[in-house]
Each structure stands twice: as structure tokens, then as C-alpha cells.
Amino acid sequence: MSNGWRNWSGLETATPTEVRTPQDADDVVTAVGDAAAAGTTVKMVGTGHSFTGIAAPTGVMLSPAGLTGILAVDRDPDGGATVTAYAGTQLKHLNTALERLGLSLHNMGDIAEQTLAGAISTGTHGTGGAVAGLAAQVVGLTLVTGTGELLSATATENADVLDLARVGLGALGVIVTVTFRVEPLFALEAVEQPMSWSEFHGGFDDLTEAAHHVDAYWFPHTDRMLTKRNTRLAGLDEVEPLPRWRAWLDDDFLQNTAFGALCAAANRAPGVIPRMNRMNARLLSARTYSDIAHRVFTTERRVVFREMEYAVPRADGLAVLEECRRVLERSAERISFPVEIRVAASDDVPLSTAYGRDSFYLAFHTHRDADHRGYFALMEPVLRAAGGRPHWGKLHTGTADDLGPAYPRFGDFLALRDRLDPHRVFANPYLERVLGD
């Protein structure tokens, strides 16, 4: 499979008919036009960090490697700073460049491997803040439509395209550039604290009100949680990063090397998982550190896993988590990975999982060598019954019939797709399932 494509989790593979590496917008226009003329499809892939087949190329595959780097910085004192970058830029490289410029994104998810186009198109989000999703920080983009037209979309030019294409699933066009609203570089203090299940539930509202960003993890088969709350510091000179040895021990060795080895061993003897989780939970200790924001938001994940995540209404979140625990404890499933809990304020991005409502995110994981299907099949009905919306880049079984009612502007999105890609040049099996044929 010389031209083969495989995503990070290993669940999705494809053999494109051709691979191209465009260097600019004109190259993308040419590639899309050639694919349309040949009656085939074209797909710009990212780094493969979606667990679904949303980026799987069935015809021509475009590599993002030639479309990287910052193109423009606007420090307008009245309108706020913006940064425009090629859409193939990885978030981690954007973060580094922004830091050198004294700038920062407002919020981020917990990894930074994705390309800008991949991250916004799938609805990647963090927790807390004024906005949690990356797409809600986008104020402009350019994309090549299925008819080969290069469109610029801003608040004043093709505003309807900007509105819907911020989370566009790769269905509306190939994104070439992305413009983010950014802010002055800032630092975060992170406080990580173990607590009991009842302590977390009783103090959840106070926890989220007292910190700018809150993330929590529940260890299945135990009564233990780990919480992480991030609070903005007044200045950059206040940062106190972890000592290098402690960062290596905690984040490199324990969370990656040792945890991966334990999970791999537990896959062969699932009966030990509850005891292993209790042991791991007892080993958790509190720690406090601070650093430039993107270094606190993101972590390196080397243990390969599978993931399903749903956003339910914030007001129902704790009750849904309780029900998920009850369902899991009544089952024979043995789960070694913690369940991740995050929250987000509502946003105005039509296909964002937080569109029009404050949201409570529940993310379920399994090790790559464990069978995720039974576990996710147990949890998904609970999440759907609560009005949950699945993350577009993470595993779920939703179809257009299921997803349409969950998004008030789903019909608007389909209409724009018909206009921008009438011949389905950007189609693949995943999009056919979630958007319809």
C-alpha cells in the first residue's frame, strides 16, 4: 500500500488513487478541478487524529505538508489581534509561533497534533473559558469548493460560508487558510487534585465557577476522581513550571510508558483491571505548576487508544455521568482508561457540539488492543437519551436521521453543501452516513 493512508488509532485505512502535495491555493484548485473532471473524489487529510473515517480519502488524497506556516498577523488595537495561517499547520507549531509573537489562542483541546483544518472541521474543543471550541475562535477562512472556486469567507464576505464552514466536516471544501482571533500571551496555573466521587459531585459547580478551565477524570470500578483546574495568572513572570525531572516522571514515564505497559498487560487478564485502577487511583497525588497557556492546555499522548465523546446539556451532565456509572457497573466490561469530563459554554457555530447550549462532555476510552465496541455500545444509548451530540471526529454510530434533529441548523448546512459541492467531490462513506447521500 505505497500510497496508503492510516489514521492514528489504526481503525481507519484507505488506498487513495493518487497523492498530491499542494503548495498553494492554486494547486488545490487544480487538484479539485482534476478530480471533478475525472468523476472521482478528493480529500485533504490531516494528521489522522480523528478516530472516525471523516478524513478517509477514497479518490485523490491531498497531503497538508506543503500548506504550513503563518501568513499574516494583524494587531488592530480596536478589533483585536488575528493570525492567519495555512490550514495544514499543526496546532503545536502554531502555538510555538504564536508564543514568539507574544500571542495565544483563547482555549485549546488536550493535544496539539492536529492540523488547523482538521481541528476546526471536526469540532475540537477544550474546557471552560469564554469559548471552548477552536472553531468559535475562527473569524475567517479560505476554501476551494467542489466546483473549483476559491472562496474567502469573513464576517463581511461570504458570511454564510464562514458561519457554517467553521465546523464543516470536510464536506464543504478544502480549507486553505484559517484566521483565528487571538489574544496577548498568557499563563495558567494548574492545580491537579485527587478527590472522591461524592466530593466531586457535591462541589462540581463551585469547582467550575472558581477556575477558568476544569477537566476531570473518573477511574472506572473505583470511587476516585482526578481534577485539573486551570486559572489565569496576572503576568508571565509568575510562572513556575514543574522541575524537569518531575515532568518526565509524571507526564512521560507514568502517564505514557508505565500506563501503556499496564494497560497492555491488563488486556490479557481483564479481571485485574478493577484492582489496577484502584491502585493507580491511590498513587495519584496533588500537584501545582504554571506555564505558558498552551503548555498547560496540552499534553503528549503516546499510548494509542480508541475514543467516543458526547456533549450533553450541562444541567444534566452529572446525572448522565451517574447513569453511565450504573450501567457500567451492572455489566461485565472491565475498563482500564479513565472517563474524561469537561464543560463548555454555548457557542454560535451551527455544527459545534456546544451550539446554542452549555455543554457537559463525557469521553470514553479504551486501549487500542482492547475491544471498544461493547463498552461504547453500553454508553451510547445513555448519551443519546440525554440529547447527546457526538464529537464528529470520535467514534459513534449516528446517522443523518439521528443527527439532524440534534442540530437546529442541520438543514442549512445540507443546503450549503448542495451549493458548494453539488457533485459530492468531497464525499466519503463517513460523510454519507452522517449527512446523507
Whether residue 334 contacts residue 287, with contact meaning beta carbons closer than 8 Å, is answered with no
pLDDT, residue 395, reads 98
Q: Give the pLDDT confidence of 284-324 residue by residue, as tens digits.
A: 889 999 999 999 999 988 999 999 999 999 999 999 999 99
pLDDT exceeds 80 at position 78: no
CA distance 115 to 95: 12
Beta strands in 81-223 (DSSP E): 82-86, 103-104, 138-144, 150-153, 174-181, 183-184, 187-196, 213-218
Instruction: Give residues with Cβ within 8 angstroms of 141, minimum separation 6.
Output: 87, 153, 162, 165, 166, 175, 176, 177, 178, 179
CA distance 180 to 115: 14
Residue 433 main-chain phi, psi, to 5 deg: -70, -45
Q: Give the pLDDT confidence of 388-400 residue by residue, as tens digits.
A: 999 999 999 999 9
The percent of residues in the chain predicted with pLDDT above 90, rounded, is: 89
**Band of pLDDT at residue 2, cut at 50, 70 and 90:** low
pLDDT, residue 1, reads 39
CA 59 from chain centre, in angstroms, equals 25
**Band of pLDDT at residue 241, cut at 50, 70 and 90:** very high
Q: Which of 342, 344, 421, 350 is nearest to 392 (CA)?
A: 350
Could you give all domains of the chain from N- to C-terminal order, each with its CATH number? 67-184 (3.30.465.10), 187-390 (3.30.70.2520)
pLDDT exceeds 70 at position 70: yes
Residue 315 main-chain phi, psi, to 5 deg: -65, -25
Residues 12-31, mean pLDDT to the nearest whole number: 97
**Band of pLDDT at residue 8, cut at 50, 70 and 90:** very high
Q: Give the pLDDT confidence of 96-140 residue by residue, as tens digits.
A: 999 999 999 999 999 999 999 999 999 999 999 999 999 999 999
Query: How many other C-beta atoms are found inside a 10 Å radius of the C-beta of residue 35?
Result: 24
DSSP state of 338: P
* Residue 216: strand pairing partners: 227, 341
Q: Give the pLDDT confidence of 178-217 residue by residue, as tens digits.
A: 999 999 999 999 999 999 999 999 999 999 999 999 999 9
CA distance 239 to 97: 19
> Rg of the chain's alpha carbons, rounded to an integer?
21
Whether residue 49 contacts residue 393, with contact meaning beta carbons closer than 8 Å, is answered with yes
Q: Give the pLDDT confidence of 373-386 residue by residue, as tens digits.
A: 999 999 999 999 99
What burial letters (b/e) apply to 50-82, b meaning 16+ CB within 10 Å?
bbbbbbbbbbbbbbbeebbebeeeeeeeeeebb
CA distance 407 to 282: 41
**Band of pLDDT at residue 249, cut at 50, 70 and 90:** confident
Residues composing the chain: 437
**Collapsed DSSP state (helix, strand, coil) of residue 322:** helix
